[in-house]
Chains A and B, each alone.
Chain A
């Protein structure tokens, strides 16, 4: 069974640009969550999608957005990038069968210069 796949693994962007990150969950998983990991703030929840609907949202500005497609693949977008957006962005997928374990991808390392 393939794991959670995040693309790309590494990105370098310039301040003011926008970026889109992609996450393919484990087959059959319908919940996808996104987290931002930085040395200063640790792991912070961004949002969770289930069946193309955002169910939960963390405390991030509106520049951070996401969506989920009918095949459960998810994308997150960050507009007007700031230096502080440099981080490892992790995606996690979860089955809805009662096992609440979240399976994480390897992450996308975003560097804003």
Chain B
């Protein structure tokens, strides 16, 4: 069984400040890891994904994440946030066996303050 924990339900940050959204996972098998963003009344948009290879993954809109196998973490970072980054962010895992069942964390609401 797999699970995902997003430790922070809400993160307020001032515009142009750095931000880190935390994600820890648990799994007995190899996993793929994802970060998705959701704007109000919208679906989910993929920010970045880790499948294999380099543990530092760069995504869209200046976001990046680092896969840490020993700490079972996949934290999302951005060096300088913008007002438009205000949204809900979801970390997700899936198995690598080819069936596309995602387990999502409970989400972190990022609020960027002017």
Instruction: Tell me, rounded to whole Å, the shortest Cβ–Cβ distance linking A51 to chain B.
Output: 12
Query: Which positions 84-105 of chain A face chain B at CB distance < 8 Å?
Result: 90, 92, 94, 100-105
Interface residues of B: mostly helix, strand, loop or mixed? strand
Segment 51-93 of A: residues with Cβ below 8 Å from B: 55-56, 58, 90, 92
Chain A minimum-CB-distance residue to B90:
A43
Interface size class of A (residues with CB under 8 A): 20 to 34
Q: A48 touches which one: B32, B101, B106 (CB < 8 A)?
A: B101
B111 interface residue per 8 A CB criterion: no
Q: Which of A42, A48, A58, A109 contacts B99 (CB 8 A)?
A: A48
| Chain B, range 34-75, C-beta contacts under 8 Å to A | 34, 36, 41-46, 49, 51
Q: Does B101 contact A90, Cβ atoms closer than 8 Å?
A: no
* CB–CB B43/A100 < 8 A: no
Asked if A42 contacts B107 (CB within 8 A), the reply is yes
Q: Which residues of B contact A33 (CB under 8 A)?
A: 100-102
Report how far A50 CA is from B97 CA in the complex, Å.
14
Which residues of A lie under 8 Å from residue B42 when comparing CB positions? 106-107
- List the A side residues contacting B49 at CB < 8 Å: 100-101
Residue A4 CB within 8 A of the other chain:
yes
Known contacts A42-B107, A100-B51: does B44 contact A90 (CB below 8 Å)? Answer: yes
